[in-house]
């Protein structure tokens, strides 16, 4: 579902160039939850942002759902991005919009009719446990509730892939568990493929099927989670 073929990212050039991501191959099959773990500065963010081309790779090709994103023009890329939802450490909600209006935003931008927006947003609020918060503003919500809004918003365009950039790093342990359970639920019920980056072992242990370790911009080790954590 996600394939990176020799994807690399270099910031700057010449002597000051930073090789944030060295040529990387990665395949995440449909329906998988794949984690990439690493220390701060290892290249996790760069890697995940290359998947939806928030960051344009310096070399290599990115495929999502059989389509090469790195080959698309701007308009086609915009359409293709509807198939790739993303959530962030700090939620990135719009403070001037209610919960409902935050979740509806991607659909408004896609030109979906008002009635259909209602029909699509309601079940998402229900699935994420936010039905009674629909008219609240982000400032009135807890961190966990804000991340639920962000998840509902990411699902609004009916993506096939969800990218999670340190999605639980700003949350306390108990809230982290509830958000991870929600992600697992979404993976099972919707068959959504999930790629997540994290610096937390527990996140990987609790929900990932496969995991890669990134260090110095290199994906150095990939294994099924069971094998990854087995000490020899
Ligand atoms: P992580 O997410 O694992 O903390 P990043 O992908 O953010 O790592 O960063 C990898 C390396 O690339 C770091 O050395 C970082 O300083 C550098 N880097 C990230 N973004 C930029 C940028 N926009 N310009 C220059 N260097 C960057
Ligand atoms: P799955 O989800 O079954 O693991 P993908 O969705 O990643 O498979 O791949 C589906 C299709 O995407 C492939 O059959 C191929 O056409 C195209 N594709 C994926 N990766 C590559 C690649 N590295 N080079 C060329 N085509 C690719």
Tens digit of each residue's pLDDT (9 = 90 or more) over 41-56: 999 999 999 999 999 9
Atom of ligand 2 nearest to the CA of 61: 23
- Rounded Cα distance between 26 and 62, Å, is 10
pLDDT at 231: 61
Q: Which of 20, 38, 212 to mutate to test the pocket of ligand 1 (most atoms within 8 A of CB)?
A: 20
Token reading at 35: 């984690």
Q: Express each pLDDT in 169-222 by its tens digit.
A: 999 999 999 999 999 999 999 999 999 999 999 999 999 999 999 999 999 988
pTM reported for the whole predicted model: 0.91
Q: Which of 66, 70, 71, 84 to mutate to test the pocket of ligand 2 (most atoms within 8 A of CB)?
A: 66
192 phi, psi to nearest 5 deg: -70, 135
Q: How far is CA 156 from CA 32, 86, 104, 124, 167, in A?
A: 20, 11, 7, 7, 18
Give the mean model confidence (pLDDT) for residues 126-130. Answer: 97
**232 pLDDT exceeds 80?**
no
Ligand 2 within 6 A of CB of 1: yes
Cβ(154)–Cβ(186) below 8 Å? no
pLDDT at 143 (0 to 100): 97
52-102 tens-digit pLDDT:
999 999 999 999 999 999 999 999 999 999 999 999 999 999 999 999 999
Range 96-121 average pLDDT = 97
Report the candidate in 154, 153, 157, 129 with the shortest Cα–Cα distance to residue 142. 129
Separation in Å, CA 21 to CA 27, 55, 85, 117: 16, 11, 22, 39
Lowest mean pLDDT among 10-19, 126-135, 222-231: 222-231
Q: How far is the CA of 82 from the centre of ligand 2 (A)?
A: 18
The yes-or-no verdict on residue 107 having pLDDT over 80 is yes
């Amino acid at each position: 579902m996600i394939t990176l073929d020799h994807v690399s990212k270099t910031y700057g050039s010449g002597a000051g160039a930073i090789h944030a991501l060295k040529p990387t191959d990665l395949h995440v099959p449909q329906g998988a939850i794949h984690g990439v773990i690493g220390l701060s500065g290892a290249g996790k963010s760069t890697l995940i942002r290359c998947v939806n081309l928030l960051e344009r790779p310096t070399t290599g090709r990115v495929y999502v759902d059989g389509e090469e994103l790195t080959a698309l023009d701007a308009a086609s890329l915009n359409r293709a991005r509807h198939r790739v939802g993303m959530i962030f450490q700090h939620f990135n909600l719009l403070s001037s919009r209610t919960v409902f209006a935050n979740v509806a935003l991607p659909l408004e931008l896609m030109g979906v009719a008002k009635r259909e927006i209602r029909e699509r947003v309601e079940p998402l609020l229900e699935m994420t446990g936010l039905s009674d918060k629909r008219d609240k503003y982000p400032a009135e919500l807890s961190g966990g509730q804000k991340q639920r809004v962000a998840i509902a918003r990411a699902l609004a365009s009916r993506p096939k892939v969800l990218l999670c950039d340190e999605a639980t790093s700003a949350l306390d342990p108990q809230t982290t568990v509830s958000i991870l359970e929600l992600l697992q639920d979404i993976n099972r019920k919707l068959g959504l493929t999930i790629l997540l980056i994290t610096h937390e072992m527990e996140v990987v242990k609790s929900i990932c099927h496969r995991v890669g370790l990134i260090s110095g911009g290199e994906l150095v080790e990939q294994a099924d989670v069971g094998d990854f954590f087995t000490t020899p």
